[in-house]
Amino acid sequence: MTTSGPFEALALIDHHVHGVVTADLDRAGLELLMTEASGPPAAGTTMFDSQLGFAIRRWCAPVLDLEPSAPAEDYLRRRVELGTAEVNRRLLTAAGVAQWLIDTGYLTDEITTPEQMAMASGTPTGQIVRLEAVAEKVARAGTSAAAWATTFAEELAIEAASTGAVGFKSIVAYRFGFDFEPIRPGSADVATAAGRLMRELETDPGARVADQVLLRHLIWTAIDIGKPVQFHVGFGDTDVRLHRSNPTLLTDFLIATESAGTPVMLLHCYPYHREAGYLAHVFSHVYMDVGAILNHVGARSAAVLAEALELTPFGKMLYSSDAFGLPELHYLGAIGFRRDIARVTGQFVADGAWGEADAERVAALIGSANANRVYRLDQP
């Protein structure tokens, strides 16, 4: 199997991605970015002994002038030899992505800014504003409890305008779960909850928006704006309670928001990618992706993509890598998706179930056309 294939040059818009680390990484630092675990691997084990570890050695090693599947020690040595900036440049450029839509709300001090990403990759960027980050900024800056909701809406508009944001992101799955009350919270409840948060911040500067009333308020404010709202779904770090991030728990919320028409983008979704596909199937405003997980399941990625393609309408799936920190993840996401979509649709064609032109059209929809349409990227 090589990287060449019918979709080798498929245009990709990565609709959910983060920057890369610019500091030099030792082995421990690199391994920490290969996992959603919060600490080092168990004694006597290594993250290189995982689907992702094998994929890095198999596919990224040649970009760093090594043989495919070079030993981890050689790979780490070569990374140091080339230096982080050169490794970033090589892998980000080789990904050949047409545009990154960057979530700027997570550990921003440790990774490249959108401007730096554009420089290192030669690829234009768009931005996604994280609702909770703006809400916490407003609460920290201090305002009255009664004015918090208005100040948040104003700050969100300022942030969206200054960054040219094409969408918003909610991490309610991390902060509470999808079993929140689906309806818009009342303004008195929001003011009470905002007051509580600001008092909490006085004693604990690290306090976060975790009250479901506030989280719901953020989501409904974004729904009112009308730009796509992304939701983290499923697989993630230990902040998430996986069973409460099953997207079918959003069903009543999706019923309540369908008439608004604001696109709801379900990100990652694994192991609930079939549930997400069902929701994209029955709700006109729901879209999904299997970003992040295709890198982590490595040699099984085509199987997961095929499962996601069972029920998800082809105009409702998008490409993303959810790469964070390591340019290996940006690169593997892009070349892996091109390889997998060719493999999965190629099998449908070989089975006589699909025509070749339809396979090409579906790859183009998921690769970039759906993102272009839903985020209105073509419009100035």
Residues that bind Zn ion (CB under 5 A): 322
To the nearest whole angstrom, how small is the minimum distance from the Cβ of residue 16 to Zn ion?
6
Shortest distance, CB of residue 232 to Zn ion, whole angstroms?
7
Q: How far is the CB of 41 from Zn ion (least distance, A)?
A: 21
CB neighbour class for 45 (10 Å; exposed up to 12, middle 13-18, buried from 19)? exposed
Rounded to 5 degrees, what are φ and ψ at 347?
A: -70, -40
Shortest distance in whole angstroms from residue 329 CB to Zn ion: 10
Residue nearest to Zn ion (CB): 322
Two tokens at 216?
């719901």
**3-state secondary structure (DSSP) of residue 208:** coil
The DSSP-derived string for 102-167 is: EE--SSTTTB--HHHHHHHHT--EEEEEEHHHHHHHHHHH---TTTHHHHHHHHHHHHHHHHT--E
Both tokens assigned to 121: 């990759």
Residue given tokens 């976060």 in the structure block:
208
The 3-class SS string of 237-277 reads CCCCCHHHHCHHHHHHHHHHHHHHCCCEEEEECCCCHHHHH
Q: Which is nearer to Zn ion, 159 or 322 (CB)?
A: 322
Between 114 and 185, CB nearer to Zn ion:
114
Smallest gap from Cβ 147 to Zn ion, in A, equals 31
- Using CA atoms, how far residue 334 sits from 23, 276, 304, in Å, is 23, 22, 16
Q: Would you say 275 or 322 has its CB closer to Zn ion?
A: 322
Nearer to Zn ion, 72 or 173 (CB): 173
How near is the Cβ of 175 to Zn ion at its closest, in Å? 15
Specify the residue, 215 or 292, whose C-beta has the smaller distance to Zn ion: 292
Closer Cβ to Zn ion, 322 or 328, answer by number:
322
